Amino acid sequence: MQVQLRIRRYNPEKDKSAYWGEYTLNDANSNDSVLDLLHRVKWEIDGTLALRRSCAHGVCGSDAMRINGANGLACKTLVARLAEKGSSTVKIQIEPILGLKVLKDLIVDMDPFFEHYKSVQPFFINDTPAPENGRERLQSIEDRARFDDTTKCILCAACTTSCPTFWANGRYVGPAAIVQAHRFIFDSRDNGASERLQVVGDTFGVWRCRTVFNCTNACPREIEVTRAIAEVKAALVSGEL
């Protein structure tokens, strides 16, 4: 099938402003991923196209982008999903994720994103002595299941950069950081919940969330992001985990 790609291009060394680059690939396959298509453009047509990618199967979080107006991983978005039924031509528009500064083509500055991530103390806190028998801490299957969903996060930023609150104010910690906080707050082995709740309960924390659900829809790991945020809100209100 034929794919008509419109890619948002910007090279800070050459371009005054961003523009649309248009590329046509005539023999695309319906199970090609958008990453496959971008590789073809880069490798066969224009070597200057810049994007981040690594694993090519949705586990490293490198290639979140805006595809036909919705955030997703290029490597996990197949042409078939973007094609209209019965049509032999597919139009795909690709832009960098929104709300972070574009550095070149599809590459954005991830530093603010990782700063928010670090602000929630995304690491295990438990200063009590380890079990004396030299073995692991025990955790029940139910306690482990309590935070399973949020352990899946690959820090791709698809959620945070789909959030209108974040677009409006980049100081909002954003869904991804709250997901990380959730992963530890609801881990029965962790003792750092109160410090984390303080951070996410702050002016630029969870209360900025307007429950738009964009984050949940954007998450390539199918994490129920909005729900995680709601659970953190509930913990803040009730003081209970």
Partner 1 sequence: MAKVQTHTFDAVIVGAGGAGLMAALYASKGANVAVLSKLYPTRSHTGAAQGGIGAALGNSEEDHWEWHAYDTVKGSDYLADQDAVDVLCKEAIDTVIELELMGLPFDRFPDGSISQRRFGGHTNNDTGKPVTRACHAADRTGHMILQTLYQQCIKNNVNFYDEFHVVDLIRVDDTVRGVVAIEIATGEFHIFHSKAVLFATGGWGRCWEVTSNAHSLTGDGPAICLRRGIPLEDMEFFQFHPTGIYKLGILITEGVRGEGGVLINGEGERFMAKPEYAPNIKDLASRDVVSRAIYLEVMAGRGINGKNYVHLDITPETVNRYFEEEGSERRIDRAYIEAKLPDIADFTRTYLGVDPVTEPMPVQPTAHYGMGGIPTDIDGCVVLDSSNKVLPGMYAAGETACVSVHGANRLGTNSLVDLVVFGRRTGVHMASFCQETALLPLPENAADEVMASFEAMLKTEKGIKPHELRKAMQTTMTANVSVFRTEETMSKAMKDLAELRADFQNVVVEDKGKQFNSDLLETWELGCLLELAEVTAVSALARPESRGAHARDDFPDRNDEEWLRHSFCHKEGDSYRLDYKPVTLGRYEPKPRVY
Q: Which of 75-79's residues contact partners 24+ apart within 8 Å by CB, and which partners?
A: 75/33, 75/34, 75/35, 76/33, 76/220, 77/33, 77/34, 78/30, 78/31, 78/32, 78/33, 78/34, 79/1, 79/3, 79/28, 79/29, 79/30, 79/31, 79/32, 79/33, 79/34, 79/37
**Which residue from 58, 72, 96, 112 is in contact with partner 1, where contact means CB under 8 A?**
58
Segment near partner 1 (CB under 8 A), from 54-62, 160-168, 207-215, 227-235?
A: 54-62
Contact between 165 and ligand FES per CB under 6 A: no
Quote the CA–CA distance of 200 and 179 in Å, as a whole number: 10
Closer residue to ligand SF4 (CB): 79 or 153: 153
Q: Taking the complex as a whole, how short is the minimal distance between the CB of residue 221 and ligand FES, in angstroms?
A: 10
**Which residue from 37, 51, 225, 229 is in contact with ligand SF4, where contact means CB under 6 A?**
225
Quote the CA–CA distance of 132 and 137 in Å, as a whole number: 10
Which option in partner 1, ligand FES, ligand SF4, none does residue 14 bind, with CB closer than 5 to 8 A by kind? partner 1
Contact between 197 and ligand SF4 per CB under 6 A: no
Contact between 157 and ligand SF4 per CB under 6 A: yes
Segment near partner 1 (CB under 8 A), from 17-25, 132-140, 167-175, 233-241?
A: 132-140
